[in-house]
Structure 1
Amino acid sequence: MAKKKVEEREPITWGYARKSAHHQDFKIQLEELKKLGIPDNHIYKDQSSGKGTEREQLDILTKKIVRPGDAIVAYKLDRLGRSTVQVLTLFNEMHEMGVHIKTLSGAMKIDTTSQDPALTNLQVTMMALFAEMERQFILERTNAGRVRAMKSGTKFGPKSKHDQAYEGAIEDFINGKGTILELLEKWKPDGGSLSEQTFYRKKRAYIAKLQAKDKKPTDYEVFPFQ
């Protein structure tokens, strides 16, 4: 059977906005996106609901809508993901597809539609460095927390297959053995699935449990992505 021909069209600029807390709103993000002339029907929005993925609309946009030559614009880099690694993964996926990324504000702006490729590469390298630093901070704090927990008598008892899978994925992520999506697929139990949102929740709980005896502020994330 012949493959269905993809309809050709001019490149489109898409907007993306995300809010991660009920007290936040989209006002500033949408105002800035519309200043670029992006119409409402070209703006995708995600909002944390406590159920399912928090990037459902972004996944639709990046996996089903965009085509080579298109651009995705976000107000800040951290709107595109909850961690440096997540943003890096998205950036690399879009780069391979020939889709541009642009951010309008924040300490680290990216605009692959016009800026020098060398500058973009430098920014991505810096992001990768921060991601590695993030992993190292997590690893150091986690190891220290585990020792304290064991000394205090904390027992790490039997866990369900899903709990074991999430913990395995978390430890692999901490040790830099893959992206979150890759690890969720790697550790997926037979006949089950792992969600990205639950991964983040369990990662926070996992580290908090190990640090229960530590009164110092948690510093396991270099970027305080919301």
Structure 2
Amino acid sequence: MKLGYARVSTVGQDLKTQIEKLKAEGIQDDYLFIEKKSGTTTRNREELEKIIKQSRSGDHVYVTKIDRLARSIIDLNKIMNRFKEKGVSVTFLDNNMTFGADTDNDAMQRLLFNVLGSFAEFERDMIVNRTGEGRQRAKKAGKKLGRVGQPEAEVQRALFLWQNRKENGLSVSDILKMTGVPKSTLYKKLNER
């Protein structure tokens, strides 16, 4: 059985390319395990757990790149050992490499696997360092970091509409749609009053 695993770290990232590559390998939609979770840890990665639990001896798991499976060499080895214990092979499409119980005795395969895993971890560490440096520069420049808030005019409009909702026949949902203000922001501002 062919199974596919695709992952991105954030909601804003796109899974399209990964899914296309997995489907090109002949993986059916029912056998695609897709999630938007950080790869820095295996905690709370429900789809990863599902693919490991549902895979059986002789199955073949396809992943586009090693860093889609894990970003640390320790987690990568743990995941791969779980697949190997079940007799499942894993292919990393972009690297054109397959690992499994039958490659365990191949010293070169183990070396390449660990080198690729180490690069994935190194790449993640470099991203974290660059992001931290960028934040520090932004703070020194006096820039505010974080999500952009709602325009104050729209928040005030939402509050006004909420106060007059009965006269206008508006529901909270109507007000949120009209102003684009999130429900949590509206209720937060109401509680502040």
Q: TM-score range by the shorter chain?
A: 0.5 to 0.7
Describe how 1:15-164 pairs up with structure 2 within 5 A: 15-48=4-37, 53-63=43-53, 65-106=54-95, 109-112=96-99, 118=106, 119-126=108-115, 130=118
Across the aligned residues of Structure 1 and Structure 2, the Cα RMSD in angstroms comes to 3.2
TM-score, scaled to structure 2: 0.52
User: How many residues get paired?
Assistant: 120
Runs of 5+ unmatched residues, structure 2: 137-193
Moved over 6 A (4+): 113-116
TM-score, scaled to structure 1: 0.45
1:73-108 CA-partner distances (Å, limit 9, x unpaired): 0111111113221111111221122110101115xx
> What is the Cα deviation at residue 16 of structure 1?
0.4
Alignment partners' CA distance in 2, 1:115 and 1:96: 13
Does the aligned pair in 1 maintain the 2:6–2:33 contact within 8 Å?
yes
1:24-47 CA-partner distances (Å, limit 9, x unpaired): 111000000000111000100111
1:168-202 CA-partner distances (Å, limit 9, x unpaired): xxxxxxxxxxxxxxxxxxxxxxxxxxxxxxxxxxx
Alignment partners' CA distance in 1, 2:26 and 2:51: 18
Which is higher, the Rg of structure 1 or of structure 2? 2
Does the aligned pair in 2 maintain the 1:17–1:45 contact within 8 Å?
yes
Alignment partners' CA distance in 2, 1:23 and 1:79: 16
Q: Which amino acid aligns with 2:99?
A: T
Give the structure with the larger helix fraction.
2
Runs of 5+ unmatched residues, structure 1: 1-11, 139-203, 213-226
Q: Which amino acid aligns with 2:47?
A: Q
Q: Which amino acid aligns with 1:58?
A: L
